[in-house]
């Protein structure tokens, strides 16, 4: 699926935190579960307990343990300290599920969900693709672009690219195309850590994509000549909803396969 867009110019995903009303705990206990149908839990999976020092901005490994029968794990004698949060991590390779303990009410029922891996992108779709032009520098002929992308993995496996495959191409990666000449690319997401790779048409991501929803923020600057630029937006994963936003006084957007809408207010000034 591709959409040709013509633009004409007139000139810390932070998740909300739950207040930790816990009394001091001396034990963290839980289990690893496999969210893939008929998936196994690897024997002796390592689980890490990390201390996040909010004052000194450090992450320190407090302890590690191996899961027992049925994926059960336990950390004893966990000592609370002012300005320190705890994080539990399943050290399972490329995709390492985590739980921040300040978000957990019952410290004796922690669950870490792992998934079997897949290299197939078939279950991944784009629910919403919003492209905005929040800034225009008419003197330098440059436009600032911000895209907000909501994606969904409808399967029960975590997508992880096979980076060791000598025949790997950009088509095997989770990718987005960008206008010619773009610069100052910045990509943020709710996905687990990964790398951003330059490809001929834009960029690709190696971040694991577990089942469920996630949001990606993309920003960049694109040069233009005259009064605008053309951009063929390619959507290899489809898109349930596509929106292009530009302030009325800045110009207009024309795109095939898209219809104009009534003006919307993005945020109060």
Q: Using one digit for the tens of pLDDT, what is the confidence trace for 244-267?
A: 888 776 666 676 766 666 655 666
Say yes or no: 93 and 131 in one domain.
no
Say yes or no: 127 and 222 in one domain.
yes
Read off the CATH number of the domain in which 194 is found. 2.60.40
pLDDT attached to residue 234 = 87
Say yes or no: 245 and 134 in one domain.
yes
Strands (E), the chain: 2-9, 27-34, 46-53, 58-66, 72-76, 84-91, 98-100, 110-114, 117-118, 124-137, 142-153, 158-159, 174-177, 183-189, 196-199, 202-205, 212-223, 228-234, 241-246, 251-255
Q: Indicate whether 20 belongs to any domain.
A: no
Say yes or no: 103 and 128 in one domain.
no
pLDDT attached to residue 12 = 45
pLDDT attached to residue 33 = 95
Q: Give how far the C-alpha of residue 155 lies from the chain's centroid of Cα atoms, to the nearest Å.
A: 17
pLDDT band at 175 (very low <50, low <70, confident <90, very high): very high
pLDDT band at 207 (very low <50, low <70, confident <90, very high): very high
Answer for the pair 211, 35: CB distance below 8 angstroms, yes or no.
Answer: yes
- Which of 115, 150, 177 represents a domain boundary (last residue)? 115
Q: Indicate whether 190 belongs to any domain.
A: yes
- Which of 115, 145, 178 represents a domain boundary (last residue)? 115
Say yes or no: 127 and 234 in one domain.
yes
Q: Indicate whether 92 belongs to any domain.
A: yes
Sign of the CA dihedral running 87, 88, 92, 97: negative
Say yes or no: 97 and 230 in one domain.
no
HSE toward the beta carbon, residue 238, CA cutoff 13 A: 9
Structure token digits, residue 199: 């490809």
pLDDT attached to residue 63 = 96
pLDDT at residue 59 greater than cutoff 90: yes
Say yes or no: 62 and 111 in one domain.
yes
Q: Indicate whether 266 belongs to any domain.
A: no
Q: Indicate whether 261 belongs to any domain.
A: no
pLDDT at residue 16 greater than cutoff 60: no
pLDDT band at 43 (very low <50, low <70, confident <90, very high): confident
Q: Indicate whether 203 belongs to any domain.
A: yes
Read off the CATH number of the domain in which 94 is found. 2.60.40.1120
Average pLDDT, the chain: 87
Say yes or no: 40 and 84 in one domain.
yes
pLDDT band at 98 (very low <50, low <70, confident <90, very high): very high
Sign of the CA dihedral running 105, 107, 108, 110: positive
pTM value surpassing 0.75? yes
Say yes or no: 150 and 53 in one domain.
no
Say yes or no: 146 and 186 in one domain.
yes
Q: Indicate whether 159 belongs to any domain.
A: yes
Structure token digits, residue 157: 């496996």
Say yes or no: 105 and 126 in one domain.
no
Q: Indicate whether 22 belongs to any domain.
A: no
- Residue 130, classed as helix, strand or coil, is strand
pLDDT at residue 173 greater than cutoff 70: yes
Domain count, the chain: 2
Q: Pinpoint the alpha helices (H) of the chain.
A: none
Sign of the CA dihedral running 41, 29, 155, 119: negative
Say yes or no: 98 and 223 in one domain.
no
- Which of 115, 148, 172 represents a domain boundary (last residue)? 115
Q: Residue length, the chain?
A: 269
Answer for the pair 142, 222: CB distance below 8 angstroms, yes or no.
Answer: yes
Domain with 235, as residue range(s), is 2-14+120-255
Distance CA 122, CA 115 (A): 16
What DSSP designation does 238 have?
A: -
């Amino acid at each position: 699926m591709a959409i040709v867009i013509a633009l004409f110019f007139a000139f810390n995903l932070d998740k909300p935190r739950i207040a930790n009303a816990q009394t001091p705990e001396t034990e963290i206990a839980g289990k690893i579960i496999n969210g893939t149908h008929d998936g196994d839990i690897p024997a002796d999976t390592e689980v890490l307990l990390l201390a996040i020092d909010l004052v000194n901005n450090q992450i320190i490994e407090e302890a590690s343990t191996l899961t027992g029968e049925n994926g059960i794990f336990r950390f004893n004698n966990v000592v609370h300290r002012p300005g320190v949060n705890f994080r539990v991590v399943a050290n399972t390779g490329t995709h390492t599920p985590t739980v921040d303990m300040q978000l957990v009410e019952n410290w004796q029922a922690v669950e870490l969900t792992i998934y079997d891996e897949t290299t197939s992108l078939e279950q991944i779709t784009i629910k919403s693709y919003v492209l905005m032009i929040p800034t225009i520098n008419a003197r330098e002929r440059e436009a600032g672009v911000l895209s907000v992308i909501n994606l969904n993995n409808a399967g029960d496996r975590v997508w992880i690219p096979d980076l060791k495959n000598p025949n790997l191409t950009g088509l095997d990666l989770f990718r987005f195309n960008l206008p010619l000449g773009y610069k100052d690319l910045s990509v943020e997401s709710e996905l687990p850590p990964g790398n951003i790779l330059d490809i001929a048409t834009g960029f690709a991501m190696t971040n694991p994509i577990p089942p469920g929803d996630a949001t990606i923020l993309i920003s960049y600057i694109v040069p233009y000549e005259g009064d605008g630029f053309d951009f063929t937006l390619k959507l290899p994963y489809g898109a349930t909803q596509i929106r292009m936003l530009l302030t009325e006084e800045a110009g207009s957007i024309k795109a095939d396969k898209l219809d104009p809408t009534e003006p919307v207010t993005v945020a109060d000034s």
